[in-house]
Structure formats: C-alpha cells, structure tokens
Structure 1
C-alpha cells in the first residue's frame, strides 16, 4: 500500500490508480515482474513516472502508437530489462463506410460508438478522425470483438478492420485560436469566456467533478490557470491556455486560447 504522504500529492479521485501504479512498481522491483498497462492519459503517466522515479530498480517505457500520441500504454519493468523491442499490444482499428455522411462524424461520435459496445476507455488510445473515417488506436486484445460487433457509428453503417501501426493515418489535432480578456486567471472566469456561458453555468459542472486541468480533477472554480494548461469539461469540450500575453491599462489580462476542434 502506498504511504500516506504520497497521497498528499494527488487528488482523492486518483487514489485507486496510485495504488495500482504503486503495485506495478513494487512488483517490478521486488519480484522482477514486467507489467504492460492499458492506455493511460498524461496525468496517469505522470503519476506512474513519479512513483517509478522513487525506485532506482524500476524503469518505465511509454508508447501510444504514434509520435504525438496523448494516450499511451506503459511497460513497467526491472531496470536491467531491455524494453525497446517489447510489443506494446497496440493496433489500428480502421473504421470506414460507403455512406458519404461519415465525413460529418467527429471524435465524440466514434468514441461514443466504441464505449456503447461496453469497451472500457482505457482500452482505447487516440482517435484520428478524417473525412474518410477514423483510425482508432486500440488494445490488440479487443480487435476481434470489435470486428464482430461494431456495425454503426452515430447511426451510420460502418466497416471495421484491424491494421498494423504502420498503416496509421495520423491526424494532428487542430486548435482554433482566440484571444480573450479576463479579470483574472480563475478557471471559471476563463472557461466561461471560452465556452461563452455565464459564470453560474460554468461553476456547477466544475463543482460536480466534470472538469480536469491538465488531466487532473479540479473542483475549485477559483483554481488559477497558467500557460500550457489543458482544460477539459464533460459536455462542453476542451481548450489549451497557449499564452498569457499581458495586462491592459484597465487591469484585464489578455489570454491566447486554443480550442480543440
């Protein structure tokens, strides 16, 4: 079990993952075991590295199937083991259709179709969406199930197949930039301007636990944002604080935002 002082660095909602990651590290150090994880978000990867760095006998390798991957699998192993040639167990799920309307589907449509089949989020990596369809990075062991069961995405008939990582059609996420003027860098103030909602409508989902800042759960509307933070709110979308450009004569702060589209 992780020592109590370690928990102080993490949000209460993260304790279960901290326990699991700590066990992976302990087993690699004490029992010389190698663990291949499911897909981790950047916050979980940070937690894993934080715990592994406390033990000199353990190493971690991350790989998400592409150079720019956000969600990645990890291998936790004894420090003497060579990990470069270890299979990460990632394949490409090619989702296509003869229906031209597939060009209208977005990230949420494909993710919703996968989760609707009972697939856990941690079995799915990044989704690369284009007008031709979607290349989803998935855990290899769910490939056969998806071939047999995935027939639609947002009411559009689809065809799915498994392809190797070399066939990945990578799509780099686009950011729609805007400059806003805010009284402070408070989470609720910046988010309300970005999503064009009242402060009241923004505060409720934050307090309800539907917001993450750089993948860490945040329930305090007054949480201060800084350049580089990625803010995601369930049901609203997500954005990145690209730069804090300075303060105007009236005392308002100019912030450059990149909204994921």
Structure 2
C-alpha cells in the first residue's frame, strides 16, 4: 500500500493499518473477512480505509447497539451483509458465593487473560449484581466455558448463550470534579490517578497512554469534553464536562472514571 497513508496514523498503528488494508484488498477480490473484536480506534481505521475503496463494504456488530468493541465483516460491495454470521456468543458467569457481587470488570478481564485468551476474542463485558455476561467470539466460547472456573478466588459456573440472550449493563462512571491549571494531558491524568506529574510523564512518553484509543506521547496535548483517556495499569476515564474557570484562573472539569 502507499506509504503515504501512514502519515495519518500513529507509528504503533502501522501494523494494524497493513492488516486492515490486506483485508480490504482481499474483499475487493471477492474474499470475505470476519475480524476479531476491534476497539473504537481500530474500527475507525478500518472504516476510513474502506471509504477509499468503492468496491468494498463493512458491517460491524458487538452484540448490542452501544457496543464499544465490535467484530467486523468486510466483503465485496455486492454481498448481502445481513446474511453473514457475526460469530458472537454470550458467556454467562454465575456463582453462589456472596463475594461474587463485589467482582469488578477488571477481575473478570484478569481471569480471562490468565487463561491465555487473547483480548481480541472478547468483546464488551457486562457486570451486574446477578452475574456477568461476556460477549465472546464463537471460536473462543467453548474454551472459555471449559476453563473459566474461578474469578479472583471466587468459584464460578459458566454457560454459553446465543447473542440475543445478552443482558447489557449500563456503563458505570465514578464522577469527580477537579480544579486543574489547564487541560494538558499530563496534568489531568496526574490528578485523576493521584500521581505526581513526573510519574505520568514516563508512561506517556513510552506510549502507554491513549486518548480515544490512540497512543498519545505528547504530554501537553489539550483534552476536550468527550475524550476517553486510558493509562496502562491504572484504568481509564472520560472528560464529561468543562465547567468553567475559577476566580483564581483554574479550570473546573468533571471526570468520569470507569468502574
């Protein structure tokens, strides 16, 4: 592919851009590709590249309308995409242990990764007091059903369900209001995660911080309402609102930390 397209993407994304371009080239030659789960940034990249090719189309689905992580089917423009199987299943997780209700999204994700399962095979995770529903790739469902027996020292039982049985849970955000000198990435990240500015500069410079799922190595980049920021090992948050300026010239912002 033309190397000039790389200028639109972060260097860490170039390998994925190459893969996506290969899928698109194959689709233009009548081959259908069903991807693993894509995060919003990857979905954007694939859609952007497909818009450059009128002979190819895409369908994306993550099991429910507001899904963050979605699988894609990429095929020639004449294909009836509605008849294509997206390969989505639900892994239902339950337990009779009272500690089960305290398990978090991170606990479930950690249990999955500890089994050697790739993150790409798992979609959104829906945690509720009654249990947890994972959206998973059908090719990974049996393995997870057989091997997922414990989550953070809590014994669990699993069941594979069709995707129409998914019980989606609303996104839970822990809201907090901050007074910051500016909307610089490093300043906001340090306040949200209660780290010194020096301690956040290192992971940002190492590409371990993402803004809207894109690696961001510039600590001075300004954030805006709606931005989703993640710091590897600490979690992620959304900038909910820029409320205004205080009498001392500082900015009041409302943050939502993902539970």
Shorter-chain TM-score: which interval? over 0.9
How far apart, in 1, do the equivalents of 2:72 and 2:102 lie? 33
Post-superposition offset of 1:201: 1.9
How far apart, in 1, do the equivalents of 2:206 and 2:131 lie? 34
| Aligned residues: CA RMSD | 1.2
How far apart, in 2, do the equivalents of 1:257 and 1:13 lie? 27
Secondary structure (helix, strand or coil) at the match of 2:83 reads coil
Post-superposition offset of 1:243: 2.1
Q: Deviations over 1:39-67 (max 9, x none)?
A: 00000000000100001111111100011
- Structure 2 stretches lacking a partner, 5+ long: none
Is 1:197 aligned with 2:198?
no
Post-superposition offset of 1:244: 2.0
Q: 1:48 aligns with which of 46, 54, 61?
A: 46
Q: 1:90 aligns with which of 88, 92, 97?
A: 88
Is 1:104 aligned with 2:108?
no
Post-superposition offset of 1:216: 0.3
Post-superposition offset of 1:129: 0.8
Q: What's the counterpart of residue 14 of structure 2? A: 15
- Structure 1 stretches lacking a partner, 5+ long: none
How far apart, in 2, do the equivalents of 1:87 and 1:100 lie? 38
Q: What is the TM-score when the length of structure 2 is the normalising length?
A: 0.96
Secondary structure (helix, strand or coil) at the match of 2:226 reads coil
How far apart, in 2, do the equivalents of 1:217 and 1:180 lie? 24
Deviates more, 1:194-203 or 1:118-127: 194-203
Q: Deviations over 1:216-243 (max 9, x none)?
A: 0112211221111100112211111122
| Structural mapping, 1:1-261, within 5 Å | 2-29=1-28, 31-261=29-259
